[in-house]
Structure 1
């Protein structure tokens, strides 16, 4: 399937969806996008820039949510012009689908909303590609119904993302069987290595995480055959305004992707 100039799926290079969790004040978001565009050029892989204009599901009311849809879309337009990267962001309400699709190349459905039929249909009817994160409460085989809803409503393409399954309180686990199971739907499968190491609501009113586990899960997912990796990155994760504990340090991104590309080459021999 195509996302702007990028193609993701079987027979295509390992793709990367990456960026900060949320659009932060100042030029930080643009600087991250520039680094990702350089990575695209240096490694010759498809890269999609991601960030949220509104984190609508923060644990605490006082947590930073983002600049909102209007400023967010202006940021995405600027990044696309400056870098040529396709962009993606999450859509939380049906009413957001059309204006977001006027700028963004790939609409993302958050895991908590993966079963929301009206939201799925609204996104599909924009004729943009849609990436649905498998709900933490869903089995991988349940996602065939999500794909059917989107295809029936006219989505130009569908991605599915594995991002962990709830295991008790404050912890997620990954069942890597989910990757080949969801690929049986015909949709390319993305592995979200940074949200998979979240410790939900485990940090005094915020979500914590285990950043040091990101490389292990990313490499395992590539070895299992995922079509793309999803990684939240930040120059200084300890200062990030959202999801810092599970974000990968930006300087660590290229070395990890180089290793993952070698794994990908090995399993394709």
Structure 2
């Protein structure tokens, strides 16, 4: 398996599981930073490599009136400040090719949202930056379909690839996490990420916004880690009830440490037997 270097963190192979976590979207800059500081403190106590995430723009909200974030210029400035303050790598979504140059100047990981995972030009242009590209598997794709995504990125000369499972459409307003997909994608030779919080999302389930079932996050997390994933992706908030996007499926910061202790224990067992 190819390993991928993200700042001073190496993921894949026999390396310990890493954590990508933060709020869904950049809200108040101070609150967003504070959430990152809380997560970093937990990760450091437990020895878990940490990458901060937050979106500068949520371009696929259910309603036109939903909060989208501060936008490209202001959002990247906030992420740059968080990166310099926390001294950790940062990740955010890109949605169109004209965002890539500015985003690549700040971000360590360019993330392709699930709905855009087949957008050839976006994938190609992101890969040309040489940055790590994390592609979320579309809710409409089978795990084996990600081979085509990998080929698009590799054709641009980029081997810094992460593949993320975030659930597959299962009827209306529902997702299911098929654990078979994790080893299938990992067998393609690149590190695999499990998005534990989006897998419990109920897309459009609240009419003008998505609903979610955060109570199932710990169960899916432990199951996914047991398959041998390389990175755990979680959206975390100090008070999800006040979150401006995806609150129903985000994890409370104060629930994170106990769950990560389970993650570390399971990961140690699995990696020892690979």
Is the Cα–Cα contact under 8 Å of residues 56 and 92 in structure 1 kept in the other structure?
yes
Counterparts of 2:248 and 2:140, CA distance in 1 = 22
The whole-number CA distance in structure 2 between the counterparts of 1:156 and 1:181 is: 18
- Name the counterpart of 1:261: 264
8 A Cα contact 2:14 2:271, kept in partner: no
Paired residue for 1:97?
100
Superposition map of 1:224-263 within 5 A: 224-263=227-266
Q: Is the 8 A contact 1:123 1:155 kept in 2?
A: no
Q: Distance in 1 between matches of 2:77 and 2:172?
A: 38
User: Taking CA–CA contacts closer than 8 Å with sequence separation of 6 or more, which of the two structures ends up with the larger relative contact order?
Assistant: 2
Residues 168-179 of structure 1 aligned to structure 2 (within 5 Å):
168-179=171-182
Give 1:39 shift: 2.3
Pick one of 181, 186, 206 that aligns with 2:184.
181
> Is the partner of 1:224 in helix, strand or coil?
coil
Q: Could you say which residue in structure 2 is the equivalent of 1:24? A: 27
Given that residues 108 and 132 in structure 1 are in contact (C-alpha distance below 8 angstroms), is that contact kept between their aligned partners in structure 2? yes
The CA deviation at 1:37 is 2.0
Secondary structure, aligned partner of 1:16: strand
Once the two structures are superposed, residues 64-86 of structure 1 have per-residue CA deviations (whole angstroms, 9 ceiling, x without a partner) of 00001111111111111111110
Q: Which residue of 1 aligns with 2:6?
A: 3
2:180 & 2:101 partners in 1: Cα distance? 34
Q: Equivalent residues in 2 for 1:75-154 (5 A)?
A: 75-154=78-157
Distance in structure 2 (CA, Å) of the matches to 1:156 and 1:74:
28
Aligned residues of 2:228 and 2:271 also touching (Cα < 8 A): no
1:55 aligns with 2:58: yes
5+ long unaligned stretches in structure 1: none
Q: Is the 8 A contact 1:161 1:191 kept in 2?
A: yes
**Is the aligned partner of 1:218 residue 2:218?**
no
CA offset digits 1:95-151 (Å, max 9, x no partner) = 111110000000000000000000001100111010000000000001011111111
Q: Is the 8 A contact 1:128 1:156 kept in 2?
A: no
Q: Is the 8 A contact 1:14 1:261 kept in 2?
A: yes
Q: Any runs of at least 4 consecutive aligned residues in structure 1 with deviations exceeding 4 A, and if so which?
A: none
- 1:190 and 2:193 correspond: yes
- Identify the residue that residue 43 of structure 1 maps to in structure 2: 46
What is the root-mean-square deviation in Å for CA atoms of aligned residues? 0.9
The corresponding residue for 2:212 is 209
* Secondary structure in 2 matching 1:24: coil
Q: CA offsets per residue over residues 154-176 of structure 1, 9 Å max, x none?
A: 22500000010001100001111
Partner Cα distance (1:159, 1:114) in 2 = 12
TM-score by length of 2: 0.96
Give the total of aligned pairs: 269
